[in-house]
Chain A
Amino acid sequence: MLTRKTQPIRSAVRSIWRRTQTLLLVYYAYMLEYRAELLLWVLSGTLPLILMGVWVKASQQGEFGLSPQDFVRYFLAVFLVRQFSVVWVIWEFEREIVEGKLSFRLLQPLDPGWHHLASHFAERFARLPFAILLVGFFFFLYPQAFWLPTIPQLLLTLVATFLAFILRFIMQYTFAMLAFWIERASAIEQFWFLFYLFLSGLIAPLEMFPPLVRQVVEWTPFPYMIHFPASLLVGLPVNLGQSFAIMLGWIAIFFGLNRWLWRRGLKQYSGMGA
């Protein structure tokens, strides 16, 4: 009786595992096809390292609450978190809609979102060696900045970075849904990116914000995409429970919105060019 009940569950789990594994492996192979491009993408994410220089210089001349060393580590952590939370799904999805390529995905019994998620996730692994090399090179040039986070710190950072990626992904994928109505949905992302740039802690740590502004910003999804995981990695004080709760809350909100727009959008879809 028990085996008869567990049989379908086991086969469902096996099927999900096989799908996940295949999607990740194939998309990993796909990402590795573009070696030079991958390296250039990693290098294009070095904005935090430039900002690091600016903030270190500034902190040597004024009082900011963080030491030059803190700034170095913070921006290095920002660089790493950003490497693993880069998302481009809106451009891909927009192209699929405009060129009608979504049609092929819709013909298959798997939500197209999984393809995008898998290709993003697989790309993280393709990027990993380059990012580690770059950080290693940085420590070689600037050994006094070197630090070793504790194991719990590292694990929490991993979880927070993964959630940061999911949050950023689901947010952008939700805006991507608007491509069903307006063919240039990426314009919304460009506008939204402005808020992301300033409020996520990418340009300046949240510690630099006036207290009231910081309090407000902490209820938005932005700081959880960069500042929170980066702070965990370098050991800056964070409100762990509240941060994870807000993060999960925003993921849930965007997920709900995403599915709602998806269902409405499909009614709108005309399979252009296909």
Chain B
Amino acid sequence: MGIINVNQLTKIYPVAVKEPGLKGTLNHFFRRTYRSVTAVREVSFQIEPGEVVGFLGPNGAGKTTTLKMLTGLIHPSGGHIDVAGYTPFRRERDFLQKITLVMGQKQQLIWDLPTLDSLRINAAVYGISERDYRQQVGELIEMLSLQDKLNQPVRKLSLGERMKAELLAALIHRPSVLFLDEPTLGLDVNAQVSVREFLQEYNRRYQATVLLTSHYMADITTLCERVLMIHQGQLIYDGSLNGLLDRFAPCREITVELGEARSPAELQIYGELASVDGRVAHFIVRQEALTRTIARLLAELDVVDMTVTEPPIEEVIGQVFQAGWVS
């Protein structure tokens, strides 16, 4: 039994349909029609305490809807969820004390007041004592390098500082399960790196469980060993990042620099030849044939240099989404 257990989770939304033009508008006013959209379809997974799991999928795949159901913001249409022993949509006090949700495109801080005021409200709402508040804020400020920033009105902070302040506000009650929806959205590279480092440190220090969505692959590759991939509401992959490459990108590219140029006809016998450029040849080889091919190339040809590359993960995931592969 993990800390997050999801079984056959489904969410169906009614969406009003409107035809364009005046006729469509009048019809929409007098006789509104709805159609059901299945945002999440029979998704099942389990996450163990302390795991950091990446949640991947193109826009509209159902990631945010799933996060909203996991945090109890919306009711599922079907299936079962258990987070830290609670049914999220009941929103019991003890459950809310254990979780948090950070949304990169939304903010909870009061815009016109300093962050400290929002933090004070959160501390009171979560029933954190004055002593714990000081200690917790002190620790998080140090981890986030936010010294001297908390007295400024939120509107005066840079985007990166604001995101860090948002994280601070969302973590003040020291939740053990973090749901992060695009926490690095719109941040520059440095800010992205510091948010990532902070999340790594938070997970290490408090053994927190993290489920994270991001469109920046660096977030996923740095933080997550395991990924869930969702496409059109269905879970299409659940496993390690490396496994994802093996499953969806079973080929590797071998680049060899030879002592002397060879003709394509001579090289083709070693594997699928992508291109030849003078003494440099590129082969595409299936992973299971990789070792064999390398051994053969080294034995039979005058190899000066050789590199084996995995295709970039962004590219692989992009291809998966584009092709709409479903396992």
Interface residues of A (CB under 8 A from B): 15, 18-19, 21-23, 25-26, 29-30, 33-34, 100-101, 103-104, 106-110, 266-267, 269-271, 273-274
Nearest to B166 among chain A residues (CB) is A104
Please report the C-alpha to C-alpha distance between residue A109 and residue B96 in the assembled complex, in whole angstroms.
6
Tell me whether A30 and B96 are in contact (CB under 8 A).
no
User: Which B108-125 residues have C-beta < 8 A from chain A?
Assistant: 108, 110, 112-113, 117-118, 120-125
Question: Main SS of the interface on chain B?
Answer: mixed
Tell me whether A19 and B96 are in contact (CB under 8 A).
no
Known A109-B96, A274-B73; further 14 A-B contacts with Cβ < 8 A: A19-B127, A21-B124, A25-B120, A26-B117, A26-B121, A29-B117, A30-B113, A33-B113, A108-B96, A109-B93, A109-B97, A109-B127, A269-B73, A274-B106
Tell me whether B113 and A107 are in contact (CB under 8 A).
no
- Chain B residues with Cβ under 8 A from A19's Cβ? 124-125, 127
- Is B274 in the interface zone, CB < 8 Å from A? no
Contact among B72, B103, B112, B123 for A274, CB-based, below 8 A: B103
Nearest first, the 4 closest Cβ-Cβ pairs linking A and B are A22-B124, A104-B108, A109-B96, A109-B93
Please report the C-alpha to C-alpha distance between residue A273 and residue B124 in the assembled complex, in whole angstroms.
28
- Is B68 in the interface zone, CB < 8 Å from A? yes
- Chain B residues with Cβ under 8 A from A269's Cβ? 73-74
Interface residues of B (CB under 8 A from A): 13, 64, 68, 71-75, 89, 91, 93, 96-97, 99-101, 103, 105-106, 108, 110, 112-113, 117-118, 120-127
- Chain B residues with Cβ under 8 A from A107's Cβ? 71-73, 96, 99-101
Distance in Å: Cβ of B172 to nearest Cβ of chain A: 11
Of residues B71, B93, B99, B120, which shows the largest number of chain A Cβ atoms within 10 Å of its Cβ? B120
- Chain A residues with Cβ under 8 A from B89's Cβ? 266
Tell me whether B121 and A22 are in contact (CB under 8 A).
yes
Tell me whether B106 and A108 are in contact (CB under 8 A).
no
Please report the C-alpha to C-alpha distance between residue A271 and residue B72 in the assembled complex, in whole angstroms.
11
Please report the C-alpha to C-alpha distance between residue A22 and residue B129 in the assembled complex, in whole angstroms.
13
Tell me whether A23 and B73 are in contact (CB under 8 A).
no
- Chain A residues with Cβ under 8 A from B110's Cβ? 26, 30
Nearest to A103 among chain B residues (CB) is B73
Please report the C-alpha to C-alpha distance between residue A165 and residue B30 in the assembled complex, in whole angstroms.
38
User: How many residue pairs between the two chains, A and B, have CB atoms under 8 Å in the bound complex?
Assistant: 75
Tell me whether B71 and A109 are in contact (CB under 8 A).
no
Contact among B13, B64, B105, B126 for A109, CB-based, below 8 A: B126
- Chain B residues with Cβ under 8 A from A33's Cβ? 112-113
Distance in Å: Cβ of B72 to nearest Cβ of chain A: 7
Distance in Å: Cβ of A265 to nearest Cβ of chain B: 11
Distance in Å: Cβ of A48 to nearest Cβ of chain B: 30
Please report the C-alpha to C-alpha distance between residue A75 and residue B105 in the assembled complex, in whole angstroms.
48
Tell me whether A100 and B120 are in contact (CB under 8 A).
no
Please report the C-alpha to C-alpha distance between residue A29 and residue B120 in the assembled complex, in whole angstroms.
12
Distance in Å: Cβ of B221 to nearest Cβ of chain A: 27
Please report the C-alpha to C-alpha distance between residue A101 and residue B109 in the assembled complex, in whole angstroms.
11
Known A-B contacts A109-B126, A270-B13, A270-B74; the reply to A104 vs B106 at CB < 8 A is: yes
Known A-B contacts A15-B127, A106-B91; the reply to A26 vs B74 at CB < 8 A is: no
Please report the C-alpha to C-alpha distance between residue A29 and residue B115 in the assembled complex, in whole angstroms.
13
Q: What are 14 A-B interface contacts by the 8 Å CB criterion?
A: A19-B127, A26-B118, A29-B113, A29-B117, A30-B112, A30-B113, A34-B112, A107-B72, A107-B100, A108-B122, A109-B93, A109-B127, A274-B64, A274-B103
Please report the C-alpha to C-alpha distance between residue A27 and residue B113 in the assembled complex, in whole angstroms.
10
Please report the C-alpha to C-alpha distance between residue A274 and residue B73 in the assembled complex, in whole angstroms.
10
- Chain B residues with Cβ under 8 A from A23's Cβ? 121, 124
Please report the C-alpha to C-alpha distance between residue A10 and residue B72 in the assembled complex, in whole angstroms.
31
Distance in Å: Cβ of B182 to nearest Cβ of chain A: 11
Please report the C-alpha to C-alpha distance between residue A235 and residue B269 in the assembled complex, in whole angstroms.
107
Please report the C-alpha to C-alpha distance between residue A48 and residue B100 in the assembled complex, in whole angstroms.
47
Nearest to B110 among chain A residues (CB) is A30
- Chain B residues with Cβ under 8 A from A271's Cβ? 68, 73-74
- Chain B residues with Cβ under 8 A from A22's Cβ? 120-121, 123-124
Distance in Å: Cβ of B154 to nearest Cβ of chain A: 12
- Chain B residues with Cβ under 8 A from A108's Cβ? 96, 122, 125-126
Tell me whether B73 and A26 are in contact (CB under 8 A).
no
Please report the C-alpha to C-alpha distance between residue A18 and residue B13 in the assembled complex, in whole angstroms.
40
- Chain A residues with Cβ under 8 A from B117's Cβ? 26, 29-30
- Chain B residues with Cβ under 8 A from A266's Cβ? 75, 89
Please report the C-alpha to C-alpha distance between residue A64 and residue B313 in the assembled complex, in whole angstroms.
84
- Chain A residues with Cβ under 8 A from B73's Cβ? 103, 106-107, 269, 271, 274
- Chain A residues with Cβ under 8 A from B103's Cβ? 103, 274
- Chain B residues with Cβ under 8 A from A267's Cβ? 75
Please report the C-alpha to C-alpha distance between residue A109 and residue B128 in the assembled complex, in whole angstroms.
12
Please report the C-alpha to C-alpha distance between residue A30 and residue B118 in the assembled complex, in whole angstroms.
11
- Chain B residues with Cβ under 8 A from A106's Cβ? 72-73, 91
Please report the C-alpha to C-alpha distance between residue A104 and residue B109 in the assembled complex, in whole angstroms.
10
Nearest to A99 among chain B residues (CB) is B106
Distance in Å: Cβ of A252 to nearest Cβ of chain B: 25
Nearest to A104 among chain B residues (CB) is B108
- Chain B residues with Cβ under 8 A from A103's Cβ? 68, 73, 101, 103, 106
